[in-house]
Chains A and B, each alone.
Chain A
Amino acid sequence: MSGTMIMISGEDYTDDPSLSRELVSFARQIKDATGEPFTIAVVGEEASRCTQDIVNYGAESVRVLSEAPEHQLWPEYDAEVLAQLCNETAVSTILLSKTLWGTEVAARLAAILDGSAAMDITAAAIANDTVEITRATFGGAAETKLRMIRMPAVLVPHPKIWAAAEAGSDVSPIVLFTSQVDLGTLQTMPEDRHRLVQGPDITQARILVSGGRGLGGPEPFKLLEEIASLIGGQVAASRPPVDSGWVSGQLQVGLTGKTVAPDLYFAVGISGAIQHITGCYNARNIVAVNNDPHAPIFQYATYGVVGDWQDVLPSFCKALESNLTSSREKIH
């Protein structure tokens, strides 16, 4: 073994710092097992802001790309730059978060360095000469143990398995590095980028009220909004409502959306396909409302209602409202 490198995109960090701090916990686990130190490499937009935040986590150093190309979001460029950094510093384990950027850069790095890569890791047994991981497959329905043969091993943990690390008092030195990548050799060319207005961050919510194909259109999401606001939650969705344009992609839970682990997750009109379950099976409690008693979602649910949401939710909402009114009356 010769060290772990955590790789962070400044943009991902701004979006959700806890995912990067989970990588720190993972790296500390490796350090405890092998004695090998870890470094943190930061690239991309808002790298400098992220760097100031990440210096108190016990990394041997925080390496920051000193200059970025005009196009900030360029996975091919980032992967080439980070591969160059790995080659300079003898790294045996690379940790990235399960974001669009992290997943793509992980795959590119494994290809460039001809190492191995594993996604959705839920446990790891790392010793001085072996890296063995357990990962979720089939949307968490199965668990698979893999031994990483080719090094470096690029590891992408399943979100919210490792706890977000707490900051310490030691300050890691910040070391700038420059890119030796010749832009002329890159094969992809970023062009226009269009950003939607940033929506709520569903990964931080304690309660999520999520709707699926069974809602039939955008209109019923208003009822989910109403319920969410009564219980201090946020609205989320499975893939079909996003693909159909009923709600924004920022609300999507699942394989191609976000991974969430709220205390309470309402799945309304969601069948529970593996693609969806993979994003929410770590929720502490799942409440499923579905008219198909055989829907796979009930497999994962703590509470289940077999029925039409159109019959169930209005009275549910009303009961919440009247409870809220009576508790307010008690206060006054």
Chain B
Amino acid sequence: MHIVVCARIVVDPLLPTTDLTIDPVRSRVVPSDGGQRVVNGFDEQALEAALRLKDENPGSTVTVLSVGEHVPWEVLRKLMALEVNDAVVVDGPSGDSHDSRSTAAILAAAITRLAQVDIVICGRQDSDWDNAQVPIRVARNLRWPCLTLAREAKVTGERVLVRRVLLDGWQDMSAKLPAVVTVTSELGELRYPTMKGRMAAMKRQPNVWSVSDLGVNSEESTELVDVHIAERSKESNCQFIDGDSGQSQGEQLAAVLMSSGLI
């Protein structure tokens, strides 16, 4: 079985918002010190789902696929310390934009170019744009089914069965392969690599394709007009409750909230 995991590099969502700024040239939100980018958390969990499928189906291969302009290999390479067979990076400005339609068109073209893909696993959404549209659009472009919000995924014969997370429980849903599956945080964290894996990853390189190689029409469905940091993110108006002990802070907090009429 050939499993493809789509992984996107995002600004670390744990950064304090005061550390975010706008790159005026590319109209992007970036960390002000230029650093701290990570693999989108849900995409790490997509890799974990892929590795579990690989464990259960020996002989499977896993390919990590990422699109974007100047994808930082030093960040993506972290995934290569695990049982990942290959990485493909599709380089191009339109691959990593605000627009799900163009990103999905590029991903779908890349998946078509990869040999005999049985299942594509994606995170349920990105932590920056929260669109949750790309996997569904990828599936539509490929004419494959899309199963969403999986906390478990199993392949039996020619079908994939997922347990989908709902707010009030779960639902099992299945589809015939090839298929696109999105995973959610309930699936669990990505496993840790071994030291040997980490050493080996240092030497690995991705296959780099370009958007133009793929000959894909990646026309956008939306136009970015403006992006700016929200006022509330620029400065804090927090009134700190001081005190010489936690106990006195607790008492003061109660007094402040009661006198302000909040409780």
Contacts and interface: CB of A to CB of B under 8 A. Distances in A.
Q: Do A and B bind each other?
A: yes
A298 interface: yes
B184 to A, nearest CB: 6
B75 to A, nearest CB: 18
Contacts of B240: 298, 303-306
A126 interface: no
B29 A137 contact: yes
Given A141-B229, A281-B232, A316-B250, A191 B222 contact: no
A110 B137 CA distance: 8
B149 interface: yes
Nearest to B171: A193
A301 B235 CA distance: 11
B215 to A, nearest CB: 19
Interface in B23-58: 29, 41
A138 B253 contact: no
A111 B169 contact: no
B74 interface: no
Main secondary structure of the interface of B (DSSP, over half): mixed
Given A302-B237, A316-B250, A147 B222 contact: yes
Contacts of A132: 225
Main secondary structure of the interface of A (DSSP, over half): mixed
Interface residues of B, number: 86
A101 B258 CA distance: 40
Contacts, number: 271
B140 A111 contact: yes
Interface in B43-92: none
Interface in A74-112: 75-76, 100, 103-104, 106-108, 110-112
A299 B238 contact: yes
A296 B184 CA distance: 24
A143 B228 contact: yes
Contacts of A116: 101, 221-222
A319 B221 CA distance: 56
Interface of B: 11, 13-18, 20, 22, 29, 41, 98, 100-101, 104, 124-125, 127-133, 136-137, 139-140, 144-149, 161, 165-176, 179, 184-186, 188, 220-230, 232-233, 236-241, 245-251, 253-258, 262-263
Top 5 nearest A-B pairs (CB, nearest first) are: A311-B246, A187-B145, A315-B250, A319-B254, A316-B250
Interface of A: 15, 73, 75-76, 100, 103-104, 106-108, 110-112, 114-120, 132, 136-150, 187-196, 198, 207, 231, 239, 242-243, 249-250, 255-258, 263-264, 271, 273-275, 277-278, 281, 285, 287-288, 294, 296, 298-308, 310-320, 323
